[in-house]
């Protein structure tokens, strides 16, 4: 019977979808630590991980599951420094390869990730020498949304540790992080105040930003386990001054005062050391971070978790985050897409028709010269504006690279603004000369061009191309 069960289990492991292939070699660890390979079922997926423990581990020790931050298919080695440091505090640490199936830049589920973490918790609780009543969960960044959700679902989790966690909506956090990076690079004006959050709102409305308005506060309020929150003073991805009070307020509303918040000097988003205010992450953890975790876990698992304790230097946050509400109908992704199609037809149609006429050797009506400026300027403003905005948000975290600045405005953005103004001026001149144009075909072509320019005016205002 055992042989049959073993064969069936092996078959299921082969057929089951997996987040990563089994490892060819064990993790490289210091001599005082050892690792054992584990596989477990997460949210509908077979996941693989390692349990790292001291070589001379005592029986009845605590355990902690590490939950990754954002990223598809992140390997367990990404958190090796944390795993080693915590294991050296006498714990067993389970770190696993993050899923890539069902998780991407545009698709993810915090609920599914929480199920993955719960599968890891159940596995760690079964490890030899681990006290199942002393197993907790640790979450970094995005894991700061996942870990509380897992803890709220299971009494098997005895404590929660959060690093660089966020109590804001994901969309608000992301727009703040990119805007903070732009401002740190010296950018001011409509690009950072209007265009950047506007683009994120449209992206979210188009379904390309996963769980944009996920509200973590009700989940935090339902957490009953002791909570250790850790933030680097120089966190450039999570608002480090705003988030801790929101966490504390949510916990207290739920009746949980067993929380300890600690800020670490010279530390970044992941509580690693940073030499330049959070831009560069060094391999070393912040001084005292691992020791704090070891001491606090000992207190939390023995019923002595501190009550409402906050310590450490004040975090550095130059600007507050701002609300990022859902779009109204007139600024929705569908309307923006329709406007883009109109611009392409109106602005690109003008030269295309002229080219077709030349190919057919048809005599053309004398064109209105200003119309050429409307066509070229409109295309450059629309296509160049969107291209530059996407470039900005893709490179905007921590320290943006907006290019040369003029009075706090990126030179590229200033050029696009100037081209937009010229486009509208040329549209006005074209409208004044429309009556002088003979020929139905030419007049139709100019009317379509001017229709694009008429829509371009509110569009350019919305995106900040006509605002300093």
Whether the pLDDT of residue 124 is over 60: the answer is: yes
The pLDDT-based confidence of 368 (bands split at 50, 70, 90) is confident
Q: What is the pLDDT of residue 18?
A: 41
Whether the pLDDT of residue 212 is over 60: the answer is: yes
Structure-token pair, residue 220: 């935090």
pTM of the predicted structure, to 2 decimals: 0.88
Mean pLDDT (whole number) for 110-137: 97
Structure-token pair, residue 418: 């100037």
Whether the pLDDT of residue 297 is over 60: the answer is: yes
Alpha-carbon gap, residue 268 to 287, rounded angstroms: 12
Structure-token pair, residue 375: 């066509």
The pLDDT-based confidence of 141 (bands split at 50, 70, 90) is very high
Q: What is the pLDDT of residue 15?
A: 34
Q: What is the pLDDT of residue 8?
A: 31
Tell me how many helices (H) and strands (E) the chain has. Answer: 14, 11
Q: What is the pLDDT of residue 438?
A: 62
Q: Per residue in 18-28, is it b (16+ CB within 10 Å) or e — as a string?
A: bbbeeeeeebe
Whether the pLDDT of residue 196 is over 50: the answer is: yes
φ/ψ of residue 225, rounded to 5: -80, 155
Whether the pLDDT of residue 16 is over 70: the answer is: no
19-33, 158-172, 218-232, 399-413, range with the lowest pLDDT:
19-33
φ/ψ of residue 450, rounded to 5: -70, -30
Total Cβ atoms within 10 A of residue 444: 11
Nearest to 319 by CA among 464, 183, 198: 183
Task: Say if residues 121 and 141 touch (Cβ distance below 8 Å).
Answer: no
Whether the pLDDT of residue 252 is over 50: the answer is: yes
Highest average pLDDT, of 23-37, 291-305, 344-358, comes from 291-305
Those residues whose C-beta lies under 8 Å from the C-beta of residue 453, and which sit 6 or more positions away, are 346, 374, 378, 423, 424, 427, 430
Q: For the sheet containing 46-54, what is the strand order?
A: 33-41, 46-54, 92-96, 61-67, 130-140, 160-163, 227-232, 259-264, 309-311
The pLDDT-based confidence of 356 (bands split at 50, 70, 90) is low
Q: What is the pLDDT of residue 435?
A: 76
The pLDDT-based confidence of 33 (bands split at 50, 70, 90) is very high
Task: Say if residues 82 and 293 touch (Cβ distance below 8 Å).
Answer: no
Q: What is the pLDDT of residue 349?
A: 84
């Amino acid at each position: 019977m055992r042989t049959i069960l073993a064969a069936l289990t092996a078959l299921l492991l082969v057929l089951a979808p997996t987040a990563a292939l089994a490892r060819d070699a064990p993790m490289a660890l210091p001599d005082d630590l050892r690792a054992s390979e584990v596989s477990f079922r997460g949210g509908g997926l077979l996941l693989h991980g390692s349990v790292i423990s001291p070589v001379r581990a005592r029986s009845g020790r605590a355990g902690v599951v590490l939950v990754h931050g954002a990223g598809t298919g992140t390997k367990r080695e990404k958190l090796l420094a944390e795993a080693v440091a915590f294991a050296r505090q006498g714990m067993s640490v389970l770190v696993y390869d993050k899923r890539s199936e069902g998780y991407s830049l545009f698709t993810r589920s915090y609920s599914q990730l929480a199920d993955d973490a719960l599968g890891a918790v159940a596995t760690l609780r079964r490890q030899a020498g681990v006290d199942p009543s002393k197993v907790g969960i640790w979450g970094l960044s995005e894991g700061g949304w996942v870990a509380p959700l897992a803890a709220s679902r299971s009494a098997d989790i005895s404590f929660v540790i959060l690093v660089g966690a966020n109590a804001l909506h994901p969309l608000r956090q992301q727009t703040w992080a990119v805007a903070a990076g732009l401002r740190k690079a010296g950018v001011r004006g409509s690009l950072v105040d209007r265009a950047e959050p506007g683009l994120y709102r449209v992206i979210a409305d188009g379904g390309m930003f996963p769980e944009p308005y996920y509200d973590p506060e009700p989940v935090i309020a339902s957490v009953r386990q002791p909570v250790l929150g850790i933030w680097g003073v120089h966190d450039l991805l999570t608002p480090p001054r705003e988030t801790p009070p929101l966490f504390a307020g949510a916990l207290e509303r739920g009746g949980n005062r067993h929380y300890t918040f600690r800020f670490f000097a010279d530390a970044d988003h992941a509580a690693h050391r940073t030499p330049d205010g959070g831009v560069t992450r060094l391999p070393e953890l912040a001084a005292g971070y691992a020791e704090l975790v070891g001491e606090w876990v000992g207190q939390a698992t023995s019923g002595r978790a501190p009550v409402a304790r906050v310590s450490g230097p004040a975090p550095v946050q130059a600007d507050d985050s701002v609300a990022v509400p859902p779009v109204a109908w007139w600024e929705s992704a569908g309307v923006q897409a329709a406007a883009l199609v109109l611009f392409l037809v109106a602005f690109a149609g003008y030269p295309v028709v002229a080219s077709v006429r030349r190919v057919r050797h048809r005599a053309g009506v004398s064109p209105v010269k200003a119309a050429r400026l409307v066509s070229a300027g409109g295309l450059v403003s629309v296509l160049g504006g969107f291209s530059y905005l996407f470039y900005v948000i893709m490179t905007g975290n921590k320290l943006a690279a907006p290019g040369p600045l003029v009075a706090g405005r990126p030179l590229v953005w200033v050029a696009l603004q100037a081209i937009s103004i010229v486009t509208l001026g040329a549209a006005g001149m074209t409208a004044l000369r429309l009556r002088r144009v003979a020929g139905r075909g030419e007049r139709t072509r100019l009317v379509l061009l001017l229709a694009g320019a008429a829509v371009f005016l509110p569009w350019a205002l919305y995106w900040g191309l006509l605002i300093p």
